[in-house]
Every structure is written in C-alpha cells, then in structure tokens.
Amino acid sequence: MSNIVIVESKNDKFFMQAMVEKLNCDIQVEKPIYIDNYEPLEGLSETELIKALKNLIRKIDRKDIEKIGIIIDIDNYSEQERLKFVDRCIKQVFQAESLSSTKQFIDICTDHGTNAKLACYFTNVGGKGELETLLKEIKARDSPYADCLDSWKTCIESQVKEINQKDFDKFWVSIYLRYDTCSNQEQKQAGRKCSMSGFDYVMEHKKDIWDWDNPALNDLKDFLKLFC
C-alpha cells in the first residue's frame, strides 16, 4: 500500500517531491490538478478537486492506497473557509466524517466499503499566501535584485497604482530565480533553467537556493511526517 498526496499545480508537485526526498518519506505526489500553473485564474474549483479525488477511488478499492494528503494554497482565505471547501469536496466523493482541522486524519470510505485515511494542509506563510509566498520566505541566497522590487512597488503605489501581494510575490520569486541565483552558463537558457516555467530544473539542480531548515517549513514537514 502507498501514501499519496494531491497537489494543486505542477510547481507544487516539484516542490513537494523535493520536500518528500528531504524527509525520506514514502509518499507519491500525484499528477497535479492543474498542469498549467496559470490556468486556475479564479483559484481552485470544487469541480477540479472532486475530479482528482474520484480518480483515487479505484486505487482505494484495490487497497493500493493507505493514506491520502491534500495540499492546496490557502491564498487569502481563512483556515476554516479552506477546511469547509475541502470538506464539501470530500463528501461529494466519499462517506466521511467532517474535516475539522489540518494535519489530522479522518476516515473515508468508498461506495464499495473500502477504507482509507485522509488529511489536508494549506500552503501558507503566517496564514496567507501560496507556493511563491513560501519560496520568498525560505530563500537561501542574497537577493539584491529581487529585494529592489520593494522600491519599485513603492514607486508604483506613489503613482496611485496597485499590485496585489500575490502577484508581487510571484514577481519577486521570478526575479530571484532569473537574476540572483542564475549562473552565467544558465543565463544562456534562462527560460528553462532560471524561471518558474523551468521549476522542474530548479528543484532538481538548484535545491540549495532554498533554506530547507527555515521555520516557515515546520508545519508542512509535520504534515508530511504523518505519512512517513
């Protein structure tokens, strides 16, 4: 039997795979809900999460799965709002008790009477954000190029314009990858080796640009250790 984690995007998958390797856990990170990171413009839909859960039914009935994890961004929702969202999706697919907290398993059951355990976690920093918010928090290299965006943001706001924090964090990480952590050799293939579109390369070859001991990762580590 195996343990499976459902993630929201392909970049979440690359990051969580690296975390799993760091913790030396036996967890399979499933195909992401969204292949294109920029597809879910309005956030994760119930329809897509329900579909991802339904795709696991056959594996559960074959007793190939013991534990299931769901990792999605908290974005600007409260933890309780996110829990209610996930709980609604679970109950559309399985017989299950109510999901009342993160990092805690509930029992689920398919229509054929096969049982498994399920828990969820919401990617966040200080109760808000998404993957890029976390990446910005755990950067391990000096980041003069990316940090200068603070002055740019101040300038934008002085012109009575806005950039929301979500977009700013994405921009910050893209500059960090492109200018603060990209070698001269990698610069020749910057799109593939120094960007979020090439995040698979980053997470395979440049793990040291992140601080894997940063306290911001402690909750996520605790969640993944439930599957170890």
- Return per-residue pLDDT of the chain as tens, 228 residues: 789 999 999 999 999 999 999 999 889 998 888 655 444 434 578 999 999 999 999 999 999 899 999 999 999 999 999 999 999 999 999 999 999 999 999 999 999 999 999 999 999 999 999 999 999 999 999 999 999 999 999 999 999 999 999 999 999 999 999 999 999 999 999 999 999 999 999 999 999 999 999 999 999 999 999 998
Question: Measured at the alpha carbon of residue 214, what is the angle toward residues 126 and 128, in degrees to the nearest 5?
Answer: 15
In this prediction, residue 22 carries a pLDDT of: 93
* Residue 148 C-alpha from the chain's centroid: 26
Residue 129 phi, psi (nearest 5)? 105, -160
Element (H, E) at 115: strand 115-123
In this prediction, residue 39 carries a pLDDT of: 45
pTM of the model: 0.92
In this prediction, residue 218 carries a pLDDT of: 97
d(CA 37, CA 18): 18
- The burial of 96, by beta-carbon neighbours within 10 Å (0-12 exposed, 13-18 middle, 19 or more buried), is given as middle
Q: Which residue in 53, 55, 32, 33 sits closest to 95, CA to CA?
A: 53
Length of the chain: 228
In this prediction, residue 35 carries a pLDDT of: 52
Side by side, the strands of the sheet bearing 95-96 are: 28-29, 2-7, 65-73, 115-123, 106-109, 95-96
